[in-house]
Amino acid sequence: MKPAQFEYDDPETEEEALDLLARHGDECKVLAGGQSLVPLMNFRLARPARLIDINRIDSLSYIKREDGRLVIGAMTRHTHLERAAEVAQGWPLLTEAIGWVGHAQIRNRGTIGGSVAHADPAAELPAAFTALDASFQVRSKRGSRTIGWDHFFVSEFTTALAPDELVMAVEVPALDPGSGAAFVEYARRHGDFALGGAAVTLRLGRDGHCEKATIALVSAGPAPVRASSAEQQLRGSTLDDSSIRAASVEAVKGLRPTSDLHGSTEYRIGLLRTMTERALTKAAQRARSST
């Protein structure tokens, strides 16, 4: 279990990195935290001809607020985000989701940009960003663009990134006042990828009715799934048990999560329904206590 040979570059600036990507695009892989890529390389299941290691680019590691939005630099480590007080306060869904990511050693090294670019449908952060209507700033020598979650995550381990593009940052809009959010998942062992999970946000109006809901599901399909008809169904409801239950049933309609040795499609559908119900219940409680 030793990796195959590869060429290696470790640029110190964004410009250098983009130059290298423009030159080697197709045959190279970007090395961010490496917590998903290096295991695959050790098994020789991934054998990139060249690695572009962006760990020396300090300018990509930051957390800042911009016009009320949270902007997270791509090379921000999970631990950094997990411990940021402003995140815990303004975007507690992210803090809660990160608590489910691997273990401390993984979170100390793994990066936010790496997680979204890897696009594992069983990963927590892509789903949390999906529930939060996040978008992704990407750049190449050809220019910059911002891609919404709905276009960014294409399929299993596939994003809308072109071979010469690099994720620069994640932008997360602020949650409205009166909102509550929750992240719930179940894995066979704590720290493993989820068998099923749900990231939800809810906004309550003054009259206690739901004004807005977002539901993103983990391990539900080839990419994070937004349960939009369930979201719609919750709008105007009082978020009582029966409306939450009905929305959870709606959320999993038509889903075909992949069966594997840890759980069949049928089991996973049931689990996703339960996780959605629990996340909604939790988020509703939190929304009520915040108003």
Partner 1 sequence: MKINGRAVEGEVEPRLLLADFIRDNAGLTGTHLGCEHGVCGACTVQLDGHPVRSCLIFAVQAHGHQVATVEGMAPSDSSLNTLQQAFHECHALQCGFCTPGILMTMDAFLREEPDPTPERIRSALGGNLCRCTGYQNIITAVRLAADRLNC
Partner 2 sequence: MKTTADRIDPVAINGIGTSPLRKEDWPLVRGEGTFIADFKRPGLVHAFVVRSPLAHAQFPSIDCTATLAAPGVLDVITANELPDRGRPIPTRQFADEGSNRFLQRPLADGVVRYSGEPVAVVIADSRYRAEDAAELLDIDYERLDVVLDPDDAVAANAPLLRPDAGTNVAGHLLVEMGAIDEAFAEADLVIKETFRIQRHAAVPLETRGLLAEYDAETESITVWGAAKIPHVNRTILARLLGWSDESRVRLVELHVGGGFGARGEFYPEDFLIPFAAIRTGRPVAWVEDREENLRATNHSREQVHRVEMALKKDGTFLALKDSFINNTGAYVRTHGMTVPALSVSMLPGPYKWPAYRGEFRSVVTNKTPGGTYRSPGRFEINFVRERLIDIAAHRLGLDPVDIRRRNLIDRTSFPHDLGTLYDGHPVIYDSGDYELLLDKALPAFDYEGLERWRSEPAAGGIRRGLGIGFFVEKAGPAEREYARVELNDKGDVMVYTGAASVGQGVETVLAQICVSHLGLPYERVRVIHGDTALIPEGMGAFGSRATMLGGAAVMRASKQLRKRLLDAAAEELEAAPADLMLSPEGVSVVGAPARSVSLKTLLSTSAGVIIEEHRFVCDLLGFPYGIHVAAVEVDTASGAIRIHRYAVAYDIGRCVNPVLVAGQISGGFAQGIGGALLEEFSFDANGQPMSASFMDYLLPTSEEVPDLEVLITEDAPSPLNPLGVKGAGEGGTAGVGAAIANAVSDALGSEVTRLPLSPQRVVELAGE
Q: Which of 270, 285, 288, 290 binds partner 2 (CB under 8 A)?
A: 270
Instruction: Tabulate helix, strand, coil % of the chain (nearest 5).
Output: 35, 25, 35
Q: Where are the beta strands (DSSP E) in 160-243?
A: 166-172, 179-186, 196-204, 210-218, 225-226
* 239 token code pair: 């978020």
Residue 183 contacts partner 2 per CB under 8 A: no
* 235 token code pair: 């709008």
Residue 189 contacts partner 2 per CB under 8 A: yes
Residue 262 contacts partner 2 per CB under 8 A: yes
Q: Which of the choices partner 2, partner 1, none does residue 270 contact, using the CB cut-off of 5 to 8 A by kind? A: partner 2
CB 195 within 8 A of CB 223: no
Q: Which of 2, 66, 89, 261 binds partner 1 (CB under 8 A)?
A: 2
Query: E strand or H helix at 96, and its extent?
Result: helix 92-98
Longest CA–CA span in the chain (Å) reads 63
Residue 45: exposure state from Cβ atoms within 10 A (0-12, 13-18, ≥19): exposed
Integer CA distances (angstroms), 271 to 34, 191, 195, 217, 227, in order: 30, 17, 8, 11, 15
Stretch near partner 1 under the rule CB under 8 A, chosen from 31-39, 113-121, 225-233, 272-280 = 31-39
Residue 151 contacts partner 1 per CB under 8 A: no
Stretch near partner 2 under the rule CB under 8 A, chosen from 66-74, 171-179, 203-211, 255-263 = 255-263
Binding mask 96-135 for partner 2 (x = CB under 8 A): ----------------------------------------
Nearer of residues 117 and 175 to partner 1, judged by Cβ: 117
Residue 62 contacts partner 1 per CB under 8 A: no
Residue 262 contacts partner 1 per CB under 8 A: no
Closest CA to 136 of 180, 173, 167, 162: 167
Residue 8 contacts partner 1 per CB under 8 A: yes
3-class SS of residue 151: helix
Distance CA 130, CA 273 (A): 18
CB 123 within 8 A of CB 222: no
Residue 4 contacts partner 2 per CB under 8 A: yes
Stretch near partner 1 under the rule CB under 8 A, chosen from 104-112, 133-141, 166-174, 246-254 = 104-112
Binding site for partner 1 (CB under 8 A): 1-8, 10, 34-35, 38-39, 41-43, 51, 53, 55, 79, 102-106, 108-109, 189-191
Binding site for partner 2 (CB under 8 A): 1-5, 43-44, 186, 188-193, 195, 260-264, 267, 270-271, 274-275
